[in-house]
Structure 1
Amino acid sequence: MYREHALRAGLVAVTVLSAGCSVPPPEIRGLEVDPRPSERVPLAAQATFETTRLATVALEFDDGARRWTVDTGERARTHHVVPILGMRPGRTHVVRVIVTDENGVTNTSEPFEVTTDPLPHDFPPIDVRVSQPDRMEPGVTLFEPTYRPEDDSERDHHLLVAVDDTGEVVWYYKAAQSVSDARRLQNGNLLYRTGRAGPLYEIDMLGNTVSEWHTNGTPEEQVG
């Protein structure tokens, strides 16, 4: 009988001790959202905030028709500047920030809304003939559409477009010059060239130029 009481007392002590050592979730502080940080990438927003411990970030979306969560892929840190990508045009998206510390403890922000504009009237039409998501690799399809406006006028900008597995536009970039041979780099940025032998540009997903390269013989008006 003594042994049974001793065992029960030990279990109670362990339970109390474990409860007292539970780690609170990392706090999200100073969350600010810029719904349009770049005119070159109209479907992107940006969130800035601090966490009280090193944490990684995921984003949860709800656009009224679909709900999905995206791991941003950023390394654990306390100061976060997070592009909000993958939103569809002409919709209000309810977004939540989810942070996870190095112990796997999570915290979720209060929801906030980001409303995207519809695609512009001169955006090239996309005609989806076949869509088989179950046979696709995860992610989006990035391409450079070749088109002319209906009135055959010169375009004010050139496009780089990303569509989801249904063919719906979820990101696009407006470039001042023609875009070709675009590809994703390991750091998450994009690299593309202009014309046949024009300058090379590296941009982030908000359309900011990170680096550019050109040959010594490139005319000055084609640089920058």
Structure 2
Amino acid sequence: MWLDLRVQRRLQAAGQAFVLDVALQCTQRQVVLAGPSGAGKSLTLKAVAGLLRPGQGHVRLQSQAVFDAATGVDVPPQHRRLGYVFQDYALFPHLSVRQNVAFGLEKGWLNPRVGQRFDAVEQWLQAFRIDTVGDLLPSQISGGQRQRTALARALVTQPQALLLDEPFSALDHDLRQHLRQELEAVLDKTGIPLLLISHDPQDVAMFGQQVARMVDGRIVGG
């Protein structure tokens, strides 16, 4: 079991309350968190990553507590060693593809200089076949290349798990299928665990070694 999650958090927005109350144990290497929009899937991913602080509960990654309300443990997001790809990819528009990927390294916040090269960055640029666009800005490349850039940035740090929030939703059908296969090959090669948010049956079919279904802030199956 690489992830043991038991968190609760009450949120208030626009005069409405939403209660996140999630219990999830990831016993398979690839886990899909499925469910309708507004079910709390993205909030759950943020709680794992440390971007949302639960009111109660715990988050254990590879048997190590990164959050525990009872003991006061709350490891900062940058120290949880997680690769995270947001639904909109969250690339830095003023940085090149190569700089965006290098930003994922330990000292990436220093904004890697133009022309600066790291072996790990070059390896991932080649792995996702974006080495030929490494010097271009995100606005100058295709949607598929932007998605590959976001994945390379998440994986360059050698994370202990990969968190993906609807990573293929903005792509056309053929490109989605192609990138699914690319990601599956990378995960098989590296052995990195995956927690993937999706409502696409094809994502569930390819990555759902374990499937957890979420409705109204709770896991209702899986």
Output the TM-score relative to the length of structure 2: 0.27
Instruction: Using CA pairs under 8 Å that are at least 6 residues apart, name the structure with larger relative contact order, 1 or 2.
Output: 2
Output the TM-score relative to the length of structure 1: 0.26
Structure with greater helix percent: 2
Structure with greater strand percent: 1
